[in-house]
Amino acid sequence: MFGKRTSFGGNTQSAPPPSRPVEEPRPTPQAEAPAPEARPAPAQQQAKPPREEVMDIHATESAARDKNYFQTKSSIFNALIDSIDLSQLAAMDQISAREEIRDIVAEIIALKNFVMSIAEQEDLLEDICNDVLGYGPLEPLLARDDIADIMVNGAHRCYIEVGGKVKLTNVRFRDDAHLMNVCQRIVSQVGRRVDESSPICDARLPDGSRVNVIAPPLSIDGPALTIRKFKKDKLTLNQLMKFGSISPEGAEVLRVLGRIRANVLISGGTGSGKTTLLNCLTAFIEKDERVITCEDSAELQLQQPHVVRLETRPPNLEGEGEITMRELVRNCLRMRPERIIVGEVRGSEAFDLLQAMNTGHDGSMGTLHANSPREALSRLESMITMGGFALPSRTIREMIVSSIDVIVQAARLRDGSRRITHISEVLGMEGDVIVTQDVFLYDILGEDAAGNLLGRHRSTGITKPNFTEKARYFNEEAALVDALERANVEHMDMMR
């Protein structure tokens, strides 16, 4: 099938001498232990070398192994590209293409007389398959469902977040050019590019995972790649309850809010789980509702059949062709939406979203960065003001009050856990101040021996919040009142 496969067969005379590319180098004399028969030395001479010196030796050995490995891999990779028909490879399914590449690489290793163990050869085969068909060294990390974030700081440092904690991995790229090739492959899938003339790029993976790339000269120590991974199985409110992110009674209140078409703003810091929570709330949208989503990078995974997904577009090389979030939100109003979902409110689109919520598009939702419900309202006001709207502060606040029903606050705590800390409703105005009322709160009670924070969700004692009227209209009042009363009884029992 691959007519060029034998093209490297005649080059065996000029092949490099046999080598063991991943063989560990001989320890340096300074690192060798003294011979047993050596005369005892003073205590000062018998002391172990400083930790920094040992680390430097290990780092040198690791760098030498990496250099040998990448040289061998580069030689085999170049021979593979010369011998394979990429157009025919692209027409094959993933499994068949991977098997074909493995066969050819094994043949190249035999012809070029590389000497390596079966385990070393297997690692090399897997790496080359990932380079040709996937995202290179990132493939093993992308395959793991327990990783929340992948952070690549240049070619030789890659961190991951697992269980809320950031850890350094042994994933390495050959050099910055190798890393840039992987970045380019990712962003090209969504019609974007990243290079010196356009060094910042937002993109997404096929599963919706968010990708950000910033390249030199803006990134001084090499390209920086950040991937916010999505789980293969979409999280639900039931799973959030199992994780302790929300209590059963709080989850029932959130379910009711999704069903009764309340206008919800989800607030939280970076990595607090705002998009995940928004996905959970959209699960309660009725199947027959027309939903339109607006995002910078399409991340939301709505399950309803009648969904229109819109995505912003950056400017081209000439600085033209940009489509902003505000333009998308304004265009939504001409598309007969029943709900508008904004992935993240960052600027003047806040004004148009509030207008939509206030003009018959009940049940619209969005997220923004803020550390508390009160701060979220202030940020909304600031975004509208910075958008160039010459409106008095009181007018903007009245618009916020008439548009937003509930603010749900998510937080990432210092032990890495994510919790819903507030469910707050917007009541109205007292003078020039917006009045809010907490329905559910999360209290931190302490921490265990492992450093994990201990806390509990509690009701504030309110049994009939302002959105009870909406719940009655959608026949959800009984479920709402029951959840709040159960939460109040549980809180009183704990107080005793």
Give the pLDDT confidence of 100-118 residue by residue, as tens digits.
Answer: 777 777 777 777 777 677 7
Q: What does the pLDDT average to over 338-367?
A: 90
pLDDT, one tens digit per residue, over 285-337 is: 988 899 999 988 778 888 888 999 998 888 877 778 889 999 999 998 889 99
Residue 127 has a pLDDT of 73
Q: What local confidence, expressed as pLDDT, does residue 423 receive?
A: 95
Q: Exposed, middle or buried, 325 (CB in 10 Å: 0-12/13-18/19+)?
A: buried
Q: Encoding tokens for residue 35? A: 């011979």
CB-based contact 296:202 (threshold 8 Å): yes
What is the pLDDT, as a whole number, of residue 198?
Answer: 85
CB 340 within 8 A of CB 323: no
In the block, tokens 């931190």 appear at 444
Q: Is the pTM of this model over 0.75?
A: no
Mean pLDDT value across residues 341-345: 91
How do residues 466-475 score in pLDDT, each as one tens digit? 999 999 999 9
Strands 264-268 and 406-412: parallel
Q: Is residue 479 classed as helix, strand or coil in its secondary structure?
A: helix
pLDDT of residue 193: 84
Please give the pLDDT value at position 251. Answer: 93
pLDDT tier at 381 (50, 70, 90 boundaries)?
very high
- Cα–Cα distance, 180 to 213 (Å, whole number): 9
Q: Nearest to residue 8, comparing CAs of 100, 105, 88, 90?
A: 105
Burial class (CB in 10 A: 0-12, 13-18, 19+), 199: middle
Q: What is the pLDDT of residues 129-161, one digit of tens each?
A: 766 777 888 888 988 888 989 999 999 899 999
Longest dimension (CA), the chain: 92
Predicted pLDDT of residue 44: 43
Instruction: Tell me the pLDDT band of 22, cut-offs 50, 70 and 90.
Output: very low
Cα-only R_g, the chain: 29
Same topology, domains 134-232 and 237-495? Answer is no
Q: Which CATH class is domain 134-232?
A: alpha beta
Rounded Cα distance between 129 and 408, Å, is: 44
When pLDDT is averaged across residues 199-212 and rounded to a whole number, the result is: 87
By percentage, how much of the chain surpasses pLDDT 90?
33
pLDDT at 31 over 90: no
Of residues 171 and 122, more confidently modeled = 171
Give the number of other Cβ atoms within 10 Å of residue 269's Cβ: 14
Which runs of consecutive H residues, i.e. helices, occur in 84-228?
A: 86-90, 94-111, 118-133, 139-143, 176-188
Listed by start position, the domains of the chain span 1-29+45-131, 134-232, 237-495
Angle in degrees, 0-180, between the axes of helices 349-357 and 373-386, rounded to the nearest 10:
110
User: How many residues in the chain?
Assistant: 496
The rounded mean pLDDT for the chain is 80
The average pLDDT across 395-416 equals 92
d(CA 461, CA 490): 11
Give the model's pLDDT for residue 291.
93
237-495 to CATH, choices 3.30.310.50, 3.40.50.300, 3.30.450.20, 3.30.360.10: 3.40.50.300
Tens-digit pLDDT profile for residues 223-278: 999 998 877 777 888 889 998 899 999 999 999 999 999 999 999 998 888 988 99
pLDDT of residue 212: 92
> Is the per-residue pLDDT at 4 higher than 50?
no
Q: Starting at the earlier edge strand, list the strands of the sheet with 307-311.
A: 307-311, 291-295, 339-342, 365-369, 264-268, 406-412, 418-430, 433-447, 453-459
Q: In the prediction, which pLDDT does 342 show? A: 92
Which stretch of DSSP H or E encloses residue 310?
strand 307-311
pLDDT in tens, 474-490: 999 999 989 988 888 77
Which helix (H) or strand (E) covers residue 307, if one does? strand 307-311
pLDDT at 257: 93
Q: Which residue has the higher pLDDT, 345 or 132?
A: 345
Rounded Cα distance between 302 and 375, Å, is 28
Which tens digits make up the pLDDT trace of 420-452? 999 999 999 998 899 999 999 999 988 888 888
Over 70: is that where the pLDDT of 35 sits?
no
* Backbone φ and ψ of 111, nearest 5°: -70, -35
Residues 6+ apart with CB under 8 A from 412: 164, 268, 269, 270, 271, 272, 273, 418
